[in-house]
Amino acid sequence: MGQDIAMETERTAVGTGLTGAHAERLSSLVTASRAQVDRETGLTLYRDMTLGRRFEDKCAEMYYRGKMFGFVHLYNGQEAVSTGVIGAMKRQHDWFCSTYRDHVHALSAGVPAREVMSELFGKETGCSKGRGGSMHLFSKEHHLLGGYAFIGEGIPVALGAAFTSRYKREALGEADSDSVTAAFFGDGTCNIGQFYECLNMAQLWKLPIIFVVENNKWAIGMDHNRATSDPEIWRKAASFGMAGEEVDGMDVLAVRAAAERAVARARAGEGPTLLECLTYRFRGHSLADPDELRAEEEKQFWAQRDPLKALERDLVSAGLVSSEELRAIEKEIDAEVQDCVDFALSAPEPDSSELTRYIWAED
């Protein structure tokens, strides 16, 4: 099956005239190991990815209608990475650290859609009490360590969580302390110092962390291949003696399998993994981006590899679900997303008397 996927991708790239290095790398990937899922797991994956997609579409609608303000960076097209990685981990046990493109990571981690949408509207019912907005989602309850407006900021935080997990087990004697941390970031982040410093420390101390690179080819308007001396990010793991892997980030079953391998290594005390997921964002860098720099043929090539449609084909062809069942799930998700919008719009604004609250830790 993996060879067939690679050949189909290569034919599609040739058919659209797309010869970019990112597409060539993707076409050369033979996904020999894809996660095997049962009906229940397959439906869970599809539901999670659909929630992420429909939630982001609704955010775009609200933004363009003038109901949502500030910087809003959407995740459309990259859902297989969030669902594939977080779905292979343990909610409220493992830890997750995001970027400014954090809505879908929060949803996959279990933060209720009402709380995420409320935060985007700056309401008191938001997961960050309306103080953070789109780029600063946080939920202690759901082990979401935050979204970060500047690239690389979250990686040291994630490293600290991974260190805590090992410290509790080895220094404090907590035998059940085996949590793993996933740090999500983009390809542009892999050219800054924090990335390399944290890889070094993680491998030195064999910390239980997965560095998840969501390589969507573009860092705002900079083509990844023009910005780095070695565009194959996963290979940088070898400089630290770390496990590194490249995976098709548009295939949720491939991502899930790679994440399962990385999690198993981390829980066994074998240290970190650098996981590069080749993916693509379907929208511009943010909702204020006219997205004029990317070629139309490039966008069309990646649109044909929509991770939601790919998962549907897998589940239906395996006889696990019917297309009608998936359409019913989509209707349920649409109702859930509309509910969270209605809830957020009617929710109270933060009280001005609490302007300085949440700045310092509270007892």
pLDDT per position as a tens digit, 306-329: 999 999 999 999 999 999 999 999
Residue of 331 and 355 predicted with greater confidence: 331
Confidence bin at 3 (pLDDT 50/70/90): very low
Evaluate whether 286 touches 244 at the Cβ level (below 8 Å): no
Global pTM? Answer: 0.92
Place of tokens 């705002």: 220
For the record, the structure tokens of 198 come out as 């944290």
Backbone angles phi, psi at 148, to 5 degrees: -135, 130
Evaluate whether 92 touches 139 at the Cβ level (below 8 Å): no
Q: For 18-39, what is the mean pLDDT?
A: 77
What domains appear along the chain, each with residue ranges and CATH number?
Answer: 58-347 (3.40.50.970)
What stretches of the chain adopt beta strand conformation (E)?
Answer: 95-97, 181-186, 209-215, 218-219, 222-223, 243-248, 273-278
Q: What totals of helices (H) and strands (E) does the chain contain, helices first? A: 12, 7
pLDDT per position as a tens digit, 188-225: 999 999 999 999 999 999 999 999 999 999 999 999 99
Q: For 68-84, what is the mean pLDDT?
A: 96
Q: Which of the listed ranges 8-17, 62-71, 108-117 does the model predict with the highest average pLDDT? A: 108-117
* Residue 341 in this model has a pLDDT that exceeds 70: yes
Place of tokens 């959407």: 74
Task: Give the number of other Cβ atoms within 10 Å of residue 151's Cβ.
Answer: 21
pLDDT per position as a tens digit, 267-295: 999 999 999 999 999 999 999 999 999 99
Distance CA 316, CA 16 (A): 27
- Type of residue at 345: L
pLDDT per position as a tens digit, 150-200: 999 999 999 999 999 999 999 999 999 999 999 999 999 999 999 999 999
**What pLDDT, on a 0 to 100 scale, did the predictor assign at position 14?**
37
Mean pLDDT score of the chain: 92
